[in-house]
Amino acid sequence: MAALDSTVVNVALPAIGKDLHAAVAGLQWLLSGYLVTLCALLLLGGSLGDLYGRLRLLRLGAVWFATASLLCALAPDLGALLAARALQGIGGALLVPGSLAIVQASFVEEDRSRAIGAWSGLGGIAAAIGPVVGGWLVQAASWRLIFVLNLPLALAVLVASRHLPEARDEDGAPAVDVAGAVLATLGLSSGTYALIEGSSASAWRAVALGAGALAIVALIGFVLVERRSAHPMLPLAVFSSRQFSAANVTTLAVYGALGAAFFLLAVDLQQVLGYTPADAGASLLPVTAILLALSASAGRLAARIGPRLPMTLGPLIVAAGLLLMRRIGPGAGYLTGVLPAVVVFGLGLALTVAPLTSAVLAAVDASRVGVASGVNNTAARLASLVAVALLPALAGLSGTAYLDPSRFSAGFHAAVTIAAGLCALGGLASFVGIRDAAGTGGGEVPARRFACPVDGPGPGRDSRI
């Protein structure tokens, strides 16, 4: 539910914008409002589950998410929709770590990494099919149905959860890191406001600068609080691992580019090439198909040769796909313009995602694998948040630019060029920081061999952490 909603809105943005009279900044907030609360509270949601019960938080998150989705579907104007999207993010922050923690508690140690990998992989697939589902629903009836979709999904979660055991971390933190959660939320929301509104009318620029300064102070305060807290929601010690830090830098680069590309490409296909919402969503199906077909093979390759080469070449191939998107413009055909770019983009993602998950889990001690996965998921969503907030302004897309095909096309080309540069930096980070003998990089844990947790151990490999 949470992964699907991070992308299902993309293809509906033009329809929502026209119906609710939104400018580009309003469309950005439709994605960013959800991501702000999700990113800021994701790790806090894990702490609440440890303290009060993971199954209880999972059920609460499902009900909360469904209620917020219903509010989105019934929103009478843009302001109400943005508020409901922020509420959705809170529900997602309860759902995501709760589901992961239950997976951890339900599997024995030798099977746990595979289960967590499957959890991450299915979330990635859900995010990839979001534009397809969204496009079909928008064209078949209304953009409001993309939110109604969450109601039967939430009901399925509640019914299935009857078969799950309750679990708590008896050795975990006895209190919730409220100060860290408040500072993280304040910093992310203020920073996002500054990035989105800073390029708008001059009357608001002073307010945007003030919000940017507040964001810097809040995020510095967050780091200080986490360093001094006896029970931080973000244990900064995990970043002492060079491998873990490098993998998360790659995550920031690739998922930032991914978020920006899906945001702008779905709009470009409709506003510049004249695609229907369903056609725009279907045009991205090759990405989903390639991920389904090749992710397991990429995992086996990384198990044989190590994650460094796939995580270096994968982002570079994604960058090549983004550069090919510069050929998508007025009059471009699908087979000659859109399909080659989407295929290359998908190949790069398939080569990157599974080895990246494996490298993140392998970089920390077994007792911190849940924290590592939570940090990495937060990094992926934070990257999308920053990219969606920042790239349109850097590319000159503001106001009602999405209603002008020639202006939007030029801005889209500039944005994908910047995104390609980000991916190239991600590949460089992997080349410098990733080692095939996966360990913490700090000498705390002996080097061990790991297989891709999505599809299990490769030939001759030990699946145990």
Q: Which residue has the tokens 């339900």?
A: 106
pLDDT (average), residues 2-28: 84
Gap between the Cα atoms of 230 and 89, Å rounded: 27
| Model pLDDT, residue 74 | 95
SS3 166: coil
Q: Which two tokens stand for residue 255?
A: 């998922």
Lowest mean pLDDT segment, chosen from 26-40, 150-164, 181-195, 444-458: 444-458
* CB burial of residue 396 (10 Å; 0-12, 13-18, 19+): middle
Gap between the Cα atoms of 243 and 440, Å rounded: 6
Question: pLDDT tens-digit profile of 85-143?
Answer: 999 999 988 888 777 777 777 787 777 666 766 776 677 678 778 888 888 888 888 99
Question: pLDDT tens-digit profile of 421-439?
Answer: 999 999 999 999 888 754 4
| Model pLDDT, residue 198 | 67
Question: 3-state DSSP: the chain helix, strand, coil percent, rounded to 5?
Answer: 80, 0, 20
| Model pLDDT, residue 439 | 41
> Among 53, 314, 41, which residue's Cα sits nearest to residue 189?
41
| Model pLDDT, residue 54 | 82
pLDDT (average), residues 398-422: 85
Beta carbons within 10 angstroms of residue 369's beta carbon:
22
Gap between the Cα atoms of 310 and 296, Å rounded: 13
Q: Which two tokens stand for residue 317?
A: 């191939």
Query: In degrees rounded to 5, what are phi and psi of residue 68?
Result: -65, -35
Question: pLDDT tens-digit profile of 330-386?
Answer: 888 999 999 999 999 999 988 988 788 778 877 877 666 667 777 887 888 888 888
Say yes or no to pLDDT of 33 above 90: no
| Model pLDDT, residue 21 | 87
Q: Which two tokens stand for residue 145?
A: 């149905």
| Model pLDDT, residue 140 | 83
- Protein fold of 2-177+229-433: Growth Hormone; Chain: A; (1.20.1250)
| Model pLDDT, residue 98 | 75
Say yes or no to pLDDT of 201 above 70: no
Question: pLDDT tens-digit profile of 60-93?
Answer: 999 999 999 999 999 999 999 999 999 999 998 8
* Residue 317 neighbours by CB under 8 Å, 6+ apart: 344, 347, 348, 351
| Model pLDDT, residue 243 | 87
This prediction has a pTM of 0.77
Say yes or no to pLDDT of 228 above 90: no
Gap between the Cα atoms of 464 and 444, Å rounded: 18
User: Per-residue DSSP letters for 7-52?
Assistant: HTTGGGHHHHHHHHT--HHHHHHHHHHHHHHHHHHHHHHHHHHHHH
pLDDT (average), residues 156-168: 84
For residue 438, what are the β-bridge partners?
A: 448
Say yes or no to pLDDT of 442 above 60: no
